[in-house]
Structure 1
Amino acid sequence: MSGHSKFANIKHKKEKNDAAKGKIFTKIGRELAVAVKEGGGPDPANNSRLRDVIAKAKANNMPNDNIDRSIKKAAGEGSADNYEHITYEGYGPNGTAIIVKALTDNKNRTASNVRNAFTKGSGNVGTPGCVSFMFDEKGQIIIAKEDCDMDSDELMMLALDAGAEDFVEEEDSYEVLTVPEDFSEVRLKLEEAGILMANAEVTMIPQTWVELTDEQDLKNIQKTLDLLEEDDDVQEVYHNWDE
């Protein structure tokens, strides 16, 4: 497992997101729209998927007005946006594995942009399944110690009783892991207990990490990740580079 603090990585990611709020809100807006259509309507009380995306939106400081507007637009009869889920897998420098999850209304545009991002970083897009076997799909909840008054043993019991699979204490945070199917329920139970979460999502966790030391390799992977992050169609990027 990477020795880096997951909480520090989240803070770094959020700082980057704060610098490009419009872009992250656009991406979450798409997720809200898809959650309304695929999860069972605009009422979060009856749509656990929508509840999870709303929690993600709030964690990224998305204003309630924006959240409500996205939900209403998706629920409206005139909503013409039809987004498709597409996953790309490929290789960065030195065999690093990269998974890209996109929501798009134009598959050709997205495929071209993703391929371009890999190529510019001297990597390549592979076939479906070529790297996903190196990752485990898990629900992951990160709780900052500075935000949590609860004793670690008490928090662990709360998480495990809620259905969590694993609980890990780190220097500055706690990590709660679930199987993807139990994520919504565990997140909701922690929320109901008043636990503040720094991050909560279903994610892909690498089984092993790849260290890069060559300066050109480092520039190349950063180039690929930056280009993917700038693309509105790209929702999530997972990789096993030990940053």
Structure 2
Amino acid sequence: MGRAFEFRKARKLKRWGAMSRTFTRIGKDIVIAVKESGPDPDTNSRLRAVMQNAKAANMPKDNIERAIKRASDKSLGDFKETLFEGYAPHGIAVLVETATDNNNRTVANVRSYFNKCDGNLGTSGSVEFMFEHTCNFRLNKEGLDAEELELELIDYGAEEVFEDEDGMMVYGGFSDYGALQKYFEENNIEILSSGFERIPTTTKELTEAEQEDVNKLLEKLEEDDDVQNVFHTMA
């Protein structure tokens, strides 16, 4: 198994906490997708993907439809996607993906979390190079064979294919998302969920006490409603 398998295995143990927060973050994804390419999932591949993720998270259908309708309202402001980079204590690199309608608030909050937890908010490009930006798909594994599927998908950008208890997982490069999504849809392979992750190219081992120092920062970041995802290099 490769790095994507190990990364997923570790992250599965720590998902978004409260369901209400999960729905809030998916709701933002819906708004961003609709503002970008319209409210029709048949012609908006990003919206189709978000709707699949909403279903996988057990978000009620009414909530999804309301979010799409609300996002179609021209008076609703846009969410700006911003990436923050910095260091937690003990030299752990941290990437923070946010989606916000008030960038000044988000910048102030993220900076305060780093400062209060003995970290340092860095400049653009300061740690992003330490992570590989990937796309991923979780498929209905019924009738699929990992080795055969991997051979089929090499030309579409797949880098790692493996089976786990949640389904058949496919990882590829960030820019290969569209080609892989199109292949699955054209071949009637059911996509259960999909998304993007930043896998650290190297990780750092810490003592239990040092891990607690880093986790204080990670928890503050993950509890912020403007934060969509947090990635780090702690082993």
* TM-score, with structure 2 as normaliser: 0.86
Matches within 5 A, 1:11-160: 11-14=12-15, 17=16, 19-38=17-36, 40-77=37-74, 79-142=75-138, 148-160=142-154
* CA deviations over 1:41-78 (Å, ceiling 9, x no partner): 0011111121222222222222221111111111123x
Q: CA deviation at 1:8?
A: 3.9
Match of 1:193 in 2: 188
Unaligned runs of 5+ in 2: none
2:219 is the alignment partner of 1:222: no
CA contact (8 A) 2:138 2:191 kept: no
Q: What is the aligned-residue RMSD (CA, Å)?
A: 2.6
Q: How many residues align?
A: 232
How far residue 203 of structure 1 moved from its aligned partner, in angstroms, is 1.8
Distance 1:4 1:94 in 2: 26
Query: Residue 118 of structure 1 aligns to a residue in which SS?
Result: helix
Once the two structures are overlaid, the 10-residue window that deviates more, 54-63 or 107-116, is: 54-63
**Contact 2:7-2:199 within 8 A present in 1 as well:** no
Contact 1:5/1:170, CA 8 A, preserved across alignment: no
**Deviation of residue 190 (structure 1)?**
3.1
Quote the offset at 1:9 in angstroms: 3.7
Over 3 Å counting, the alpha-carbon distance change for 1:151 and 1:170 in structure 2 is closer
Letter in 2 for 1:21: M
* TM-score computed with the length of structure 1 as normaliser: 0.83
Percent same amino acid at aligned positions?
Answer: 38
Check the 8 A contact 2:5/2:162 in 1, yes or no: no
Letter in 1 for 2:188: A
Check 1:58–1:3 CA distance in 2 against 1; reply closer, same or farther (3 A cut).
Answer: closer
5+ long unaligned stretches in structure 1:
none
- Maintained 8 Å contact 1:120/1:223: no
CA, structure 1 residues 232+171, in 2 after alignment: closer, same or farther (shift >3 Å)? closer
CA distance in 1, matches of 2:152, 2:54: 24
Give the C-alpha shift of residue 142 in structure 1.
4.5
